[in-house]
Amino acid sequence: MGTEPATADHDATDKFIDGRLDHWLDRLATLVNQPSISSQNVGLEATADVVAGLLEESGFDARVMPSDPYPVVYAESNGSGDRTLLCYNHYDVQPPEPLELWDSPPFEARRRNGKMFGRGIQDDKGQLISRLAAIDAVKRTLGELPCRIKFIIEGGEEIASPGVPEFVQENQDLLQADACVWETGGVGYDERPIIILGLRGICYIELRARALSRDAHSGMAHVVPNAAWRLIWALVSIKDRQEHILVDGFYDDVIPASEAELAMLDALPDECERTCASYGIQHLLLGRTGAESRREVFSPTASVDGLSAGYEGPGSKTIIPAEAMAKMDFRLVPDQDPVDICEKIRAHLRAEGFEGIEVEYLGGERPGRTPVDDPFVQMTIETAQQVYGSAPRVSPLMGGSGPVAPFRDHLRVPVVTLGISHPDSMVHGPNEHIRIDQFVRGTRHMARLVERFGRG
Amino acid sequence: MGTEPATADHDATDKFIDGRLDHWLDRLATLVNQPSISSQNVGLEATADVVAGLLEESGFDARVMPSDPYPVVYAESNGSGDRTLLCYNHYDVQPPEPLELWDSPPFEARRRNGKMFGRGIQDDKGQLISRLAAIDAVKRTLGELPCRIKFIIEGGEEIASPGVPEFVQENQDLLQADACVWETGGVGYDERPIIILGLRGICYIELRARALSRDAHSGMAHVVPNAAWRLIWALVSIKDRQEHILVDGFYDDVIPASEAELAMLDALPDECERTCASYGIQHLLLGRTGAESRREVFSPTASVDGLSAGYEGPGSKTIIPAEAMAKMDFRLVPDQDPVDICEKIRAHLRAEGFEGIEVEYLGGERPGRTPVDDPFVQMTIETAQQVYGSAPRVSPLMGGSGPVAPFRDHLRVPVVTLGISHPDSMVHGPNEHIRIDQFVRGTRHMARLVERFGRG
């Protein structure tokens, strides 16, 4: 047998996971109680140190490496096999506001009713701790890890990972791996695991119209221009009421979904009713069916995420706003590029007569996806089936975004999702939580995948 | 001579005004130092009492009468003649914010460089004090007032005078008069007096779009509707880029300006360059000339006064806003009616498929104007010529609004403007001030008009 990896005793691994559950939930609480809000620059460096300490405690060589705007924690641990598994996670969280909607303080982790609450407890601190718990259990069962494992844990995921593309490119050798487990993943409403093979890209911009050097009395509305109107007219030149984006060349690089991808989307459960109930709406956007809206994930979108101009307080104030602001994000599909899209929007606004509107590029990510026939994808599907007792759903692309593209381009690794998440966990919202039973199942899946991956 | 009014000795009256200037500026300081912010419900009742006290001190019978939302100060004083002059003023002021832009505290009146600073010092506390100073000087010169004088001084002018139409209607007998001096008035950039004969109406509304019961992750932009987009599309259905209002029936009640009114507008000075410099713009709205923009005062306008939706802080947040809000005002011309206009906007939005957008009516006023050939208008023009040594400009309609319509409809009085204002006084903005030389001239004009009016 010599250097050959031992064959895992799954029951023993699962027992280790169960037996050390409280230990790892304690570690999770410590991590949650440490605020790390990337959009507000709160606690990032301190949290990076806490995370590096946790990795060291788990037997990894960990170091805090500089990156923009917040440090990356890099860690690695050798194993008996010669293959390398890379885990991508993040230690930053969304802002906790609005605070008044939380039932317990967001940065004081609390267990109740089989759940555990706190900002970032699922996204993404719980996923990280779950992976450490899985690796710990495998190592205790097998006596050693069956493969090399590396972690890249960044601090800017919630602000579109501005430093990750450059970090991955510059540290290609260090991060070299055979496969990658993404930061997110778990089960759907039907408790079946979902494995996601791709993420949309994003282009995030802020538009600012400045019409006057100061607000004017609105009795002058026939005399001087209004920044709010100018911005509104610019915005409607970007997208029509049928959701069609009107920017010249916007769709040039869109690759339509393949038949296989459409078939995967069609096989996903219909969540139309649940979505409508969850958001208090009668119909999905444009009256689409669930099946239609699932296929639309391969179409890019244009959202207005924020608007501000003039007087926003109670009652009336009669002014012509000097300035107006809109925040927009464009979710991009293969092979759109966010910098190219931003340039096309700028050119569009100039062509439409909106030269005065400034477009600031606040960040972007390219879309990225892994082919479904990659052996690592199949390994993830098989192990999910073993742990959950049901075949996982497989989605070719999700609506959200992440820095998956540089991992695909520079490291050439297949990227899959798996983990502890479930759809009602209020990620990004008040009362974010994990379900402890799903924490255990997600951890078991990770452990099973590490063992299976180690066997080659 | 008996009961005939004495003929005034203008030099003596002017001397009284000069001699008592410091006394009245002290009174003005006391009044300015009393905050009275109608939009924030700060200090209104206390200020009404101070104002009633000032009127009593000036020999008027004054009383504080209930009105909605703030009390009205009513005062009257008999004179030797049987004619009655009504003065309309207001004791409320605009909010002082942004405080950091004031060179001295807004509610501590300060004199420097021939000016006096404070919130509301021109609009409208200085105008009120100037009228009391003028009446005092006439009375001291003639021994008694040559006519009856009434004051109606309200506390809600800066929030579109919600209670005034009803107050005037219910107190028609009490307020009965032969002519009315409006709360505002003064000189233009060229130091020549301007007499304004009409005010536009206004319809102020708040539009609220609610698309979702809570904000959604913008990765769902292909699945759920966006309140900001819905509001934006509703707004552009209301007005096009050529400033044409698209609401069905909106222009039905518009009476075009007469040739005489157009001639008056054409004779007004061209302030195009000054306006451009003042607001930091290259051209007036739509590239209009000064003459064109003056004539546009007889066209109604639609302004977006405020916008709010989603994330408005620094950097990026990727959400689909559940709600979005816009504040709008429509400046109305004869004979548009604000309630009718609001109903037409609601019908328009329903017809355009925006049933879900709530339209709240925050207030309105009808337009109102006085014919230029009214004898009181001619009297105001003649006395202005005497005091200023130059013929006044006469404007048939100004861009702003006020509750002039109920005075015209219920009391059937001619309404004119005159007073202490000058165009650089920063009304509604930081460092609002009066010029003391113009305070004196405006007071002299008011005194001359009272004397002239008393002679019949």
Same domain for A151 and A31? yes
B193: phi then psi, degrees, rounded to nearest 5: -65, 150
Residue among B288, B309, B401 whose CB faces A304 most closely: B309
> What does the pLDDT look like over B264-308, one tens digit per residue?
999 999 999 999 999 999 999 999 999 999 999 999 999 999 999
Beta-carbon separation of A233 and B225 below 8 A: no
Beta-carbon separation of A39 and B317 below 8 A: yes
Q: Are A188 and A388 in contact (CB under 8 A)?
A: no
Mutant choice from B279, B320, B424 vs A, greatest count of A C-beta within 10 A? B279
- Across chain B, mean pLDDT equals 95
Beta-carbon separation of B312 and A302 below 8 A: no
What distance in Å separates the CA atoms of residue B52 and residue B69, rounded to the nearest whole number? 18
* pLDDT, average across residues B430-448: 97
Q: Are A34 and A117 in contact (CB under 8 A)?
A: no
> What does the pLDDT look like over A252-285, one tens digit per residue?
999 999 999 999 999 999 999 999 999 999 999 9
What distance in Å separates the CA atoms of residue A360 and residue A206, rounded to the nearest whole number? 5
Same domain for B38 and B186? yes
Nearest-by-CA chain A residue for B321: A305
A35: phi then psi, degrees, rounded to nearest 5: -60, 145
What distance in Å separates the CA atoms of residue B95 and residue A175, rounded to the nearest whole number? 59
For residue B44, the domain's CATH number is: 3.40.630.10
Which residues 6+ apart lie within 8 Å of A417 measured at CB? A181, A182, A184, A185, A194, A195, A196
List the domain range (segments joined by +) for residue A102: 10-197+370-454
Beta-carbon separation of B284 and A200 below 8 A: no
> What does the pLDDT look like over B219-256, one tens digit per residue?
999 999 999 999 999 999 999 999 999 999 999 999 99
| A282-294 burial: b if 16+ Cβ within 10 Å, else e | eebbeebebeebb
Mutant choice from A97, A223, A265 vs B, greatest count of B C-beta within 10 A? A223
Q: Are A185 and A196 in contact (CB under 8 A)?
A: yes
Same domain for B177 and B124? yes
In chain A, residues with a C-beta closer than 8 Å to the C-beta of B361 are none
Query: Pick from A171, A172, A158, A163: which is nearest to A123 by CA?
Result: A158
Beta-carbon separation of A311 and B315 below 8 A: no
Same domain for B272 and B157? no
> How many angstroms away from the CA of B227 is the closest CA of chain A?
9
Task: Report the Cα A242 to chain-centroid distance in Å.
Answer: 27
In chain A, residues with a C-beta closer than 8 Å to the C-beta of B206 are 316
Which pLDDT value is given to residue A428?
Answer: 85
Q: Is B400 helix (H, G, I), strand (E, B) or coil?
A: strand
Query: Pick from B1, B4, B19, B12: which is nearest to B139 by CA?
Result: B12
A1 pLDDT above the threshold of 90 = no
Q: Are A125 and A153 in contact (CB under 8 A)?
A: no
Residue among A200, A315, A331 whose CB faces B39 most closely: A315
What distance in Å separates the CA atoms of residue A257 and residue A369, rounded to the nearest whole number? 12
B4 pLDDT above the threshold of 60 = no
B133's tokens: 């100073």
In chain A, residues with a C-beta closer than 8 Å to the C-beta of B304 are 226, 228-229, 232, 309-310, 321
> How many angstroms away from the CA of A400 is the closest CA of chain B?
4
B1 found inside a domain: no
Query: Pick from A447, A422, A404: which is nearest to A122 by CA?
Result: A422
Nearest-by-CA chain B residue for A201: B219
- For helices A10-19 and A127-142, angle between their N-to-C axes, nearest 10 degrees: 130
Beta-carbon separation of B309 and A310 below 8 A: no
In chain B, residues with a C-beta closer than 8 Å to the C-beta of A280 are 212-214
| A323-339 burial: b if 16+ Cβ within 10 Å, else e | bbbbbbbbbbbbebbbe
Number of other residues whose CB lies within 10 A of the CB of residue A390:
13
In chain A, residues with a C-beta closer than 8 Å to the C-beta of B224 are 275, 279, 281, 284-285
For residue A206, the domain's CATH number is: 3.30.70.360
B3 found inside a domain: no
What distance in Å separates the CA atoms of residue B171 and residue A80, rounded to the nearest whole number? 97
The single-letter DSSP state of residue A37 is B
CB pairs under 8 A between A and B: 253
B86: phi then psi, degrees, rounded to nearest 5: -110, 135
Q: Residue B7 — pLDDT band, cuts 50, 70, 90? A: low
> How many angstroms away from the CA of A317 is the closest CA of chain B?
7
Nearest-by-CA chain B residue for A311: B306
Same domain for B263 and B245? no
Beta-carbon separation of B316 and A160 below 8 A: yes
Number of other residues whose CB lies within 10 A of the CB of residue A22:
10
Q: Residue A232 — pLDDT band, cuts 50, 70, 90? A: very high
Same domain for B166 and B128? yes
Q: Residue A4 — pLDDT band, cuts 50, 70, 90? A: very low
What distance in Å separates the CA atoms of residue B269 and residue B365, rounded to the nearest whole number? 28
A407: burial class by Cβ within 10 Å (0-12, 13-18, 19+)? buried
Q: Which amino acid is at B167?
A: F
B47's tokens: 């200020």
Q: What is the largest CA-CA distance in chain B?
A: 89
Same domain for A207 and A108? no
Q: How many domains does chain A have?
A: 2
Beta-carbon separation of A285 and B325 below 8 A: no
> How many angstroms away from the CA of A120 is the closest CA of chain B?
15
- Across chain A, mean pLDDT equals 95
> How many angstroms away from the CA of A30 is the closest CA of chain B?
26
B156: phi then psi, degrees, rounded to nearest 5: -130, 25
Q: Are A362 and A157 in contact (CB under 8 A)?
A: no
B101: phi then psi, degrees, rounded to nearest 5: -90, 0
Nearest-by-CA chain B residue for A156: B316
Which pLDDT value is given to residue B32?
Answer: 98
| B317-343 burial: b if 16+ Cβ within 10 Å, else e | bbbbbbbbbbbbbbbbbbebbbebbbe
Residue among B212, B304, B428 whose CB faces A279 most closely: B212
Contacts for B142-145: CB closer than 8 Å, 24+ residues apart: B142/B5, B142/B6, B142/B8, B142/B451, B143/B6, B144/B79, B144/B80, B145/B77, B145/B78, B145/B79, B145/B80, B145/B450, B145/B454
Same domain for A216 and A110? no
Same domain for A185 and A212? no
Mutant choice from B184, B295, B305, B425 vs A, greatest count of A C-beta within 10 A? B305
Beta-carbon separation of B329 and A225 below 8 A: no
Helices (H) and strands (E) in chain A, counts: 14, 20
In chain B, residues with a C-beta closer than 8 Å to the C-beta of A326 are 228
Give A282's Cβ-side CA count (13 Å radius): 4
- Of B314, B344, B364, the last residue of a domain is B364
Beta-carbon separation of A222 and B301 below 8 A: yes
Which pLDDT value is given to residue A8?
Answer: 61
Which residues 6+ apart lie within 8 Å of B283 measured at CB? B276
> How many angstroms away from the CA of B277 is the closest CA of chain A?
9
B2 pLDDT above the threshold of 60 = no
Nearest-by-CA chain A residue for B322: A279
Nearest-by-CA chain A residue for B199: A219
Same domain for B64 and B33? yes
A23 found inside a domain: yes
Residue among B223, B317, B321 whose CB faces A275 most closely: B223
Q: Are A290 and A416 in contact (CB under 8 A)?
A: no
| Residue B343 host element (H or E) | helix B338-351
> What does the pLDDT look like over B357-415, one tens digit per residue?
999 999 899 999 999 999 999 999 999 999 999 999 999 999 999 999 999 999 999 99
Residue among A229, A297, A327 whose CB faces B316 most closely: A327
Q: Which amino acid is at B381?
A: I
> How many angstroms away from the CA of A113 is the closest CA of chain B?
24
B432 found inside a domain: yes
Q: Where are the beta strands (DSSP E) in A311-378?
A: 319-320, 323-332, 358-365, 368-369
> How many angstroms away from the CA of A231 is the closest CA of chain B?
10
Residue among B223, B284, B317 whose CB faces A285 most closely: B223
Nearest-by-CA chain A residue for B360: A315
* pLDDT, average across residues B71-77: 98
A385's tokens: 């089936």
Residue among A204, A288, A326 whose CB faces B316 most closely: A204
**CA B453, B454, B455, B456 torsion-angle sign:** positive
B163 pLDDT above the threshold of 70 = yes
- Of B314, B332, B364, the last residue of a domain is B364
Residue among B159, B232, B331 whose CB faces A221 most closely: B331
Same domain for A37 and A123? yes
B8 pLDDT above the threshold of 70 = no
A4 found inside a domain: no
Same domain for B347 and B227? yes
A308 found inside a domain: yes
pTM (two decimals): 0.89
> How many angstroms away from the CA of A1 is the closest CA of chain B?
49
Beta-carbon separation of A331 and B226 below 8 A: no
A268 found inside a domain: no
* pLDDT, average across residues B91-113: 94
Q: Residue B257 — pLDDT band, cuts 50, 70, 90? A: very high
Nearest-by-CA chain B residue for A161: B316
Mutant choice from A293, A294, A307, A320 vs B, greatest count of B C-beta within 10 A? A307
ipTM value of the model?
Answer: 0.90
Which residues 6+ apart lie within 8 Å of B291 measured at CB? B265, B266, B270
Mutant choice from B42, B204, B215, B223 vs A, greatest count of A C-beta within 10 A? B223
Which pLDDT value is given to residue B53?
Answer: 98
Which pLDDT value is given to residue A2?
Answer: 36
Give Cα separations from B38 to A148, B46, B338 (angstroms).
70, 12, 21
B148 found inside a domain: yes
Beta-carbon separation of B318 and A204 below 8 A: yes
- Of B268, B290, B312, the last residue of a domain is B290
What distance in Å separates the CA atoms of residue A211 and residue A55, rounded to the nearest whole number? 53
Beta-carbon separation of B232 and A204 below 8 A: no
Nearest-by-CA chain B residue for A292: B223
Number of other residues whose CB lies within 10 A of the CB of residue A310:
25
